[in-house]
């Protein structure tokens, strides 16, 4: 098969300046079909049509600066509804580093990320909305800030972000591993479920079924086969604009996008992606904590991940 398709229109510009250059990216249709077949072999509830919708979507791609690209798309008829997806693609080969931060008290990412000289940031893991503390293991440098509650371990926490000198790995997580990492160097943020590991779908069958299967806004961090790092948000709770997705659908999406390892982060009203220099206080997705489909519904959170020089 020798046909070609146009995948996306790319807008390349720095710090959201007005000058825009557009080009078309072409891909051989054979490569697309191979990718589709690989992506549906495990999570069979997702269809070939879903894979095609992702690959052929009209992605808008903005080069923020060297090593950081922002991608976004509104994709109709994906996972039984319209999906609003934002991706911050980070190339660590350009010297970009990942950090784990906690707010000390509940705070909006758009207000605190700048204090860390962040270029971009995504909400982190689960927290107590009343007390303001993380309910998953959180270690920043040598400081153990919080540990994982037994309820969270039973419900969904099966993975973690491990950061050392700005480099990250996504690792499996349980109670015994947590004990060992308390003394390890580097920073750790537990979350879950872990969705992909070494290019394969991870087992989330022991997690709470309702949490796994219900469509919500979702946030995730993903490491790709090409060595890129993805901060990903999928909006939700807006039936006409963004229906949200469940964990199998999110895992499938990240697998189609080239994911090798992927971890689900806190979602729902916490889902937020921030980018320095962007309008709307830097929030590029559509947080739903105000129940409106706009950029104003950002929730205060207890921790977050960020990219910096």
Could you tell me if 44 and 117 lie in one domain?
no
The answer, yes or no, to whether residue 190 has pLDDT greater than 80, is yes
User: pTM of the full predicted structure?
Assistant: 0.88
Taking the C-alpha atoms of residue 260 and residue 82, their distance in angstroms, rounded to an integer, is 25
Residues 180 and 278 in one domain: yes
CA distance linking residue 72 with residue 223, whole number of Å: 18
Contact predicate 46/37, CB 8 Å: no
Roughly how many angstroms between the first and final C-alpha of the chain, as a whole number?
43
Q: Are the beta carbons of 97 and 308 closer than 8 angstroms?
A: yes
pLDDT band at 302 (very low <50, low <70, confident <90, very high): very high
- Please tell me whether residues 102 and 57 are part of one structural domain: no
Quick one: pLDDT at residue 36?
Answer: 52
Q: Tell me the per-residue pLDDT of 28-45, one tens digit each, with 9 for 90 and over.
A: 444 555 555 554 444 557
Rounded to whole angstroms, the Cα distance separating 30 from 151 reads 46
Q: Calculate ∠ Cα 208-154-156, nearest 5°.
A: 55
Query: pLDDT confidence of 129, banded at 50, 70, 90?
Result: very high
Nearest to 297 by CA among 232, 233, 229, 250: 233
The reply to whether 193 and 101 lie within a common domain is yes
Per-residue pLDDT tens over the stretch 223-271: 999 999 999 999 999 999 999 999 999 999 999 999 999 999 999 999 9
State the average pLDDT for the chain: 88
On the question of pLDDT at 7 being above 60, the answer is no
299: phi > 0 → left, psi -120 to 50 → alpha, else beta; which?
Answer: beta
210, part of any domain: yes
The three-class DSSP label of residue 205 is: coil
Q: Is the pLDDT of residue 95 over 90?
A: yes
Looking at 106-110, 132-136, 180-184, which range is the least confident one?
Answer: 180-184
Does residue 206 lie in a domain region?
yes
**Together in a domain, 24 and 125:** no
- Specify the number of domains making up the chain: 2
Q: Which residue has the higher pLDDT, 7 or 75?
A: 75
Q: How much is the pLDDT for 32?
A: 54
Q: What is the pLDDT of residue 35?
A: 55
pLDDT at res. 182: 79
The length of the chain in residues reads 309
Does one domain contain both 270 and 212? yes
Question: Residue 78 domain-assigned?
Answer: no
Q: In terms of domains, do 46 and 94 share one?
A: no
**Cβ 218 vs Cβ 267: under 8 Å:** yes
Gap between the Cα atoms of 309 and 272, Å rounded: 21
- Is residue 257 in a domain? yes
Q: Is 191 left (phi over 0), alpha (psi -120 to 50) or beta?
A: beta
pLDDT score of 21 more than 70: no
Last residue of one domain, picked from the residues 26, 50, 65: 65
Cβ(37)–Cβ(25) below 8 Å: no
- Give me the domain span that covers residue 32: 4-65
What pLDDT was estimated at residue 25?
39
What local confidence, expressed as pLDDT, does residue 45 receive? 72
Percent of the chain surpassing pLDDT 90 = 82
What's residue 24's pLDDT?
A: 32
Q: What is the pLDDT of residues 205-236, one digit of tens each?
A: 999 999 999 999 999 999 999 999 999 999 99
Same domain, residue pair 44 and 165: no
Is the domain of 44 the same as that of 92?
Answer: no
Contact between residue 160 and residue 146 where contact means Cβ atoms under 8 Å apart? no
Is position 10 within any domain?
Answer: yes
Quick check: is 72 in a domain? no
How much is the pLDDT for 47? 86
**Once rounded to an integer, what is the mean pLDDT over residues 137-153?**
95
Q: What is the Cα gyration radius of the chain? A: 18
Could you tell me if 5 and 27 are in contact, meaning their C-beta atoms sit under 8 angstroms apart? yes
Residue 80: inside a domain? no
Is the pLDDT assigned to residue 86 strictly greater than 60? yes
pLDDT at 300 over 90: yes
Same domain, yes or no, for 164 and 254?
yes
pLDDT value at position 42?
Answer: 44
* Domain assignment present for 304: yes
What pLDDT, on a 0 to 100 scale, did the predictor assign at position 44?
Answer: 55
Task: Tell whether 143 and 288 lie within a shared domain.
Answer: yes
Examine the pLDDT at 27 and tell me if it is beyond 90.
no
| Same domain flag for 49 and 97 | no
């Amino acid at each position: 098969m020798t046909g070609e398709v146009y995948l996306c229109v790319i807008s390349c510009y720095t710090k959201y300046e007005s000058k825009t250059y557009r080009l078309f990216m072409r891909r051989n249709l054979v490569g697309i079909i191979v990718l589709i077949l690989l992506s549906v072999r495990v999570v069979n509830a997702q269809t070939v049509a879903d894979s095609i919708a992702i690959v052929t979507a009209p992605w808008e791609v903005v080069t923020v600066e060297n090593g950081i690209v922002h991608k976004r798309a509104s994709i109709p008829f994906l996972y039984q509804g319209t999906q609003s997806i934002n991706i911050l693609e980070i190339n660590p080969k350009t010297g970009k580093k990942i950090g784990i931060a906690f707010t000390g008290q509940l705070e909006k990412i758009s207000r605190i990320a700048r204090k860390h000289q962040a270029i971009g940031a995504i909400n982190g893991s689960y927290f107590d909305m009343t007390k303001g503390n993380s309910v998953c293991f959180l270690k920043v440098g040598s400081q153990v800030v919080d540990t994982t509650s037994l309820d969270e371990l039973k419900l969904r926490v099966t993975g973690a972000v491990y950061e050392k000198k700005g480099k990250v790995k996504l690792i499996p997580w349980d109670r015994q591993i947590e004990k060992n990492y308390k003394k390890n160097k580097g920073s750790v943020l537990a979350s879950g479920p872990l969705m992909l590991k070494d290019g394969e779908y991870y087992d989330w069958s022991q997690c709470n079924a309702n949490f796994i299967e219900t469509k919500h806004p979702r946030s995730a961090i993903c490491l790709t086969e090409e060595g890129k790092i993805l901060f990903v948000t999928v909006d939700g709770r807006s039936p006409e604009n963004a229906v949200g997705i469940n964990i199998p659908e999110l895992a499938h999406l990240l697998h189609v996008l080239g994911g090798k390892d992927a971890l689900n982060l806190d979602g729902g009203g916490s889902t937020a992606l921030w980018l320095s220099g962007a309008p709307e206080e830097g929030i590029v997705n559509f947080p739903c904590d105000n129940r409106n489909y706009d950029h104003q519904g950002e929730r205060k959170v207890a921790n977050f991940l960020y990219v910096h020089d």
